[in-house]
Amino acid sequence: MTMTDPIADMLTRIRNGVQVRRKSVDMPASRVKSAIALTMKEEGYLDGVEVVEGEGPRATLRLTLRYDRDGVPAITQIDRVSKPGCRVYRTADQVSLVRGGLGAAIITTSKGIMSGRKAKELGVGGEVICNLF
C-alpha cells in the first residue's frame, strides 16, 4: 500500500512517541525526512538522527527525542502546515515567527530544507512544511 503523505506520517510518529515518552522513534528513511529531522536537531528539538541499515532493501530513520531533566519533552506541539491537497507557500518577507520566536517553522526552499529563521536570514521563501513548539 502506498502512503499519500509520508511527512505527515513522520510527524505523527514523533507526536505519538513524545506522548508515550519513548526514547526514540523509527520510521522508513528518505532524504526529505532526514533533512527535516536534521533541521529539528539543529533547532534543538531532537537529540539524535541516524540512518540504520536494515536487513531488507529499505533503511530506517531513527530519531532520538529530547527531554529535559524533569521529563518534559522539547516538542509540545507539532503541526503540519502544507498538505498534499493544499500547499502553503511563503516569501521571505511573509515567513513569520512561530509563537513569537519560541517555536520553529520548517521550510523547503530552493536552497534546501531549513528553519524559518534561517530562511528569513538568507532571504528565501518556500513551502512551509510544519510548525514546532
pTM of the model: 0.91
Count of H helices and E strands in the chain?
3, 8
Give 24-77 pLDDT, tens digit per residue.
999 999 999 999 999 999 999 999 999 998 777 789 999 999 999 999 999 999
In angstroms, rounded to a whole number, what is the distance separating the alpha carbons of residues 88 and 49?
27
User: Are the beta carbons of 109 and 125 closer than 8 angstroms?
Assistant: yes
Domains and CATH numbers, the chain: 6-132 (3.30.1490.10)
